[in-house]
Amino acid sequence: MNTSVLQAQSVTKTYGPTVALAGVSLQIAASEAVAVMGASGSGKTTLLHCLAGIIAPDAGAITLHAPQGALRIDTLGPEGRARVRRQHYGFVFQQGLLLPELTAVENVALPLLLDGVERRAAEAEATHWLHTLGLAGMEGRRPGQLSGGQQQRVAVARAQVGAPGVVFADEPTGALDSRTSAQVMQALLQTTTGAGRSLVVVTHDEQVAAVCHRVLHLSDGRIVREQHNTPRPTQVAS
Amino acid sequence: MRTASHLTLLLVRRGSDTSRASLALPVVAFAVVTALALTVLGGARFFFTIEGDLAAFYQSLAALAVTLLVIPLLTLCGSAARLSARRRDQHLSTLRLLGAPTHTLTWMTVLESTLLAAAGTVVGVLGHLALAPLLGLLVFHGERLGAGNILLGAAGTVLCAVALLALAAISSLLGLRGVTVSPLGVRTRQDVPRMSLVRLVAIGAALGAGLFAGQALQIDQGVVATVAGMVFTFGLTMAVLNLVGPWLLGVVARVQVRRATGRHAAERLLAARTVLDSPKAAWRQVSGVALTSFIAVFAGVGLAVTDAMAGSGASSQEDALLLADLRTGIALTLLISFVTVAASVAVNQAADILDRRELFASLERMGMPLLGMDRARRRAVLSPLRLVSLGSALAAATLIFPLAGIALLTNPLALVTTALLLAAGIALVWLTLLATSPLLARVARES
């Protein structure tokens, strides 16, 4: 768990007079799950967006240690950052945000199809992930025919299908009840840290943070506290 | 009622930038409907003022053109009403949460729809005034029409505007009947009354109103009967097409889902699934073109054959003028039909992008190329449009196969002109779709 896959050095981001991030530095190790917590406006979503290359920081460096070598994300343009997101990252959002017209398997296969993978191969890979996440037999269902928890597991499968090095999750259980939330979190951990990938979760939920290796507490754009856990995945599966 | 009125005005005035953009869409749609409806009715009215042997013939053709254009115009009007209804969902459920009674919600819905429609109608009247000089340059019966003959007149304009406002109010009331407003949101009722009966009644009412208007205006009863017969025939044809069209689009989309492979598999799959998700909605958007294309080929072949026959023998100047007028009429009807479809597509697409802004933003964050999403969106409209317009044209050509063959051999230019008009119409819709692409990019990056 010592190999760093993602590194941020003195990252700063301001929106007009508001300082969202004030010189944040951190490292994310391989197979590590890191929770980012903090009050609204503390800068946690901005941190996730900078680490994920969704936005560029005003100052500081963000380095992704990809299998092909180190990559300075902060120096890339919008197209370059989009490519990094597509090829190296996976995303899970609060509302699954699946395409309602497509079936579960088509939603999961979509990133691969957009990357030019042949449909049969893309759907075979998507089916594998749906089975892994306990959604066997639901491949042909559309999001509207699935429960909230099932939809979120489809979103987890979509995040994993491209074999990303890091998965970013923004309040992935925010719209779910506690039992479903635990199941989704377990699925997320199994398919990320359990498979050698890293996970960065922005959350308000102490239960979600408790199952991560490390919790970063943000306030006024700074990491004010860092807490190391011994995650017990079984506690979230109850 | 006073509280509801104040609330409605407050919500309309104090919207965010996005909600203001959302409010602008129905206004634009109503403006287009009003401008086109006034122009079409104004032009048709002119033909009811001419005299002579061919007056009845011209009047029948004008009535036919109005009938053909009423369908796409009503579709656009419906889109606008549905659009303003969708804008209200969040307001309505929040007010319900705060304990607002049903009559307050109903009044707010009707008032907001009518206000937006009124704003659109005012813009539309100005549009009609601006269009009149341009369309006045058209030549009918050897003379320029003149802007004065396109303008509907003050009384007609007011009547038409009031009718459109009433339609907006009724549409929003009907829309409310189809949903249940709860504190947790607005959801569609499962027991939505079937519209077929309403449509049947509307067709009957339109026929009755036409006959009554004919009697009141003391127009020759023979003409009234002919026009009523024609309206009925085309209404019936449209009803049949409305039954077959969605089913056909669904069948084709199902085949396209299976065949979506290769380099553009993602966009082909997404486009086909979008149509399959609601073949009726896909059909509604392009149905106006179906009958217009059918008639265009029918009339185009007829004109080509008549032209060829006139060319081989002596023909009067009156016949030559009539043929020229028919050509202008067909081109104009096709043009307005496609402009209406293009406006409907623009409004629906812009609304769809705004409604799904979170989804598009999430896809952009995932690094998905938006170009592919954009192509899928365009394909979902153009594929049914091509199928409907070319399918209807081919159906018409098959129905009158011997004549179409003769026309192709004797006067291919006339048929090429019709084909070019259809292609130009499809190109117009394609351009409209392209025009909504920047909105998709902006929404995906800014949400």
**pLDDT < 50 regions, chain B:** 188-195
Q: How many domains does chain A have?
A: 1
pLDDT in tens, B320-360: 788 888 888 888 888 888 888 888 888 888 878 887 787 78
Helix (H, G, I), strand (E, B) or coil at B38: helix
Judge whether A83 is closer than 8 Å to chain B, CB to CB: yes
Q: Token pair of B269, please? A: 């799959």
Nearest residue in A to B267, CA atom:
A114
Strands (E), B72-214: 139-140, 143-144, 179-182, 185-188
Question: Which residue shows structure tokens 């402009």?
Answer: B339
Q: Which residue of B has its CA nearest to A49?
A: B365
Q: What gap in Å lies between CA A73 and CA A94, rounded to an integer?
A: 25
Q: Which residues in chain B have their CB less than 8 angstroms from residue A87's CB?
A: 367
Q: What is the CATH number of the domain that holds A97?
A: 3.40.50.300
What's the complex ipTM?
0.77
**Is there a contact between B68 and B160 (Cβ–Cβ < 8 Å)?**
no
Q: What is the pLDDT of residues B129-157, one digit of tens each?
A: 999 999 889 888 788 888 888 898 899 89
A220 CA: distance to closest CA in chain B (Å): 23
**Domain boundaries, given as residue ranges, for chain B:** 1-193, 223-447
pLDDT for B189: 43
From CA A199, how far away is CA A210, in angstroms rounded? 14
Q: Hey, is the C-beta of B14 within 8 angstroms of any chain A C-beta?
A: no
Q: Tell me: the pLDDT tens digits for B248-273?
A: 999 999 999 999 988 888 889 989 99
Q: Judge whether B367 is closer than 8 Å to chain A, CB to CB.
A: yes
pLDDT digit string (tens) for chain A, length 238 residues: 458 899 999 999 999 999 999 999 999 999 999 999 999 889 999 999 999 998 999 999 999 998 888 999 999 988 888 888 888 999 988 777 788 889 999 999 988 887 788 999 999 999 999 998 889 999 999 998 998 889 989 999 999 998 899 999 998 888 788 888 888 888 889 889 988 899 999 999 888 899 999 999 999 999 999 999 876 543 333 2
* Range of the structural domain that residue A93 is part of: 4-236
C-alpha A161/C-alpha A171 separation (Å) is 20
Provide CB contacts within 8 A for B126, sequence distance 6+: none
CA distance A55 to chain B (A): 9
